Amino acid sequence: MSSLIPRNAGCCIIVQDGCCVKCNVVDNYCMISNSPTLADFRLVQTLLTLGSFRAAADELAMSPSALSRQLAALEARLGTRFFDRDTRNVAPTASGIAFGRLAERMLNTAEDVMAEFDAHMSASHGRLTIAGLPSVTAGLLPGLLASFADEHPDIDLRIIDALSGSVIEAIETGRADIGFTAGTISARLRLAFQPLMDDHFVAVGAPGGPLAEDRPYGLAELVRMPVIAMEAGTSVRELLDGACLRIGSPLSPRFEVAHLATAGALVAGGLGVSMLPTLTLPVLPMDRLVQRPIPDFGAKRRIGLVRQSGRSLSPAAVAFLDHVSRHLPTLRA
């Protein structure tokens, strides 16, 4: 059976079987309609503080009659009187004093909530998770993160350093907001790739080893040396294999390693040479190594930003991308 909630119960909406169809509360008592608004809390708090309808109306930028109507409507909804008033005096009742204490708490909480949200929107607070290839997190990110942290000291920065496939997975699953990776992204993935820079390959070796002469080295010359290569499946190895195939000299490494630090240690120990992008060099013990150009390498590693396409970034992520664009002029829109 349907009926109308009486006005003194709070609102006139349809009720079915004793329950409000809007808030599902029984006994003809609609909690949604009876809940005071922030404007109600502010009105009562202001009137308690100033003790005058006219002064409170001026403070709230409304007419005294409008203030009186809003207060009367609130008292009617809640079934109690907050103020005893006549033409000259306004005195709070016990209910008015109790409601005033609650109003102060609600208004303070609302201010804190909005301050926190404003901080979020201004990117002065929040969390930013960045995924990246180890060579990028070591060679490119430290300077960017240091200057960004100076500008946004209250943003919690987190780094996931992983191989390319794991970087992509972190972006796809939402574990990371943005990622730095190499190459391009398959069109079937719902990801956007934004090129940043090209990373050139160089040869590295021990000072007294096969690269002792300070000169450029051809790729065909290098592949005849003992080579320490990154393992198959890495972006570095894919580009190196492709460059070797172009000159008709398939690569046959002496050692294959999974980590750049291992490659650097083996090269520094005089066990061979390696061909690596320049962004990887900060990971290596370059104080014990030499680097030489490879003019005919014929390939470069394209470093770029990857993120989920069609999804809005957090203010912290937007602020970081803006920071990257200002500190890396080669960033393309």
Query: 8 is in which domain, residue-wise?
Result: 1-35
CA distance linking residue 56 with residue 36, whole number of Å: 18
> Given a cut of 80, is residue 24 above it in pLDDT?
no
Residue 230 and residue 278 in one domain: yes
Cβ-based neighbour number of residue 147 at 10 Å: 13
Residue 113 and residue 181 in one domain: no
**According to DSSP H, which parts of the chain are helical?**
31-34, 38-50, 53-59, 64-78, 94-121, 134-139, 141-151, 164-173, 219-223, 235-246, 260-268, 315-327
Instruction: List CB contacts of 119: < 8 A, sequence separation 6 or more.
Output: 125, 126, 154
Q: What is the pLDDT of residue 125?
A: 66
The β-bridge relationship of strands 83-85 and 126-132 is unpaired
Q: What is the dihedral of CA 61, 65, 69, 72, to 10 degrees?
A: 110
| Domain end point (choices 95, 119, 143) | 119
| Domain end point (choices 79, 100, 119) | 119
Q: Is 321 exposed, middle or buried (0-12, 13-18, 19+ CB in 10 A)?
A: middle
- Residue 263's SS3 state is helix
Q: What is the pLDDT of residue 124?
A: 56
Residue 130 and residue 114 in one domain: no
Residue 156 and residue 273 in one domain: yes
8: confidence class by pLDDT, cuts 50, 70, 90: very low
Q: What is the residue whose two structure tokens read 């690596």?
A: 276
Q: Is 15 exposed, middle or buried (0-12, 13-18, 19+ CB in 10 A)?
A: buried
Least confident of 2-16, 24-38, 121-135, 172-186: 2-16
Q: Residue 53 — left, alpha, or beta (φ > 0 → left; ψ -120 to 50 → alpha)?
A: alpha
Q: Give the domain CATH number at 253.
A: 3.40.190.290
Residue 142 and residue 283 in one domain: yes
Residue 168 and residue 272 in one domain: yes
Count of helix runs (H) and strand runs (E) in the chain: 12, 14
6: confidence class by pLDDT, cuts 50, 70, 90: very low
Cβ-based neighbour number of residue 98 at 10 Å: 13
CA distance linking residue 98 with residue 100, whole number of Å: 5
What is the pTM (predicted TM-score) of this model?
0.58
Residue 47 and residue 25 in one domain: no
Residue 138 and residue 65 in one domain: no
133: confidence class by pLDDT, cuts 50, 70, 90: confident
Instruction: Encode pLDDT of 190-208 as tens digits.
Output: 888 888 888 999 999 999 9
Instruction: Encode pLDDT of 39-93 as tens digits.
Output: 999 999 999 999 888 899 999 999 989 999 999 999 999 999 999 887 667 899 9
The domain tally of the chain equals 3
Residue 157 and residue 286 in one domain: yes
Residue 170 and residue 245 in one domain: yes
Residue 15 and residue 107 in one domain: no
Residue 210 and residue 247 in one domain: yes
| Domain end point (choices 69, 100, 119) | 119
Q: Give the domain CATH number at 113.
A: 1.10.10.10
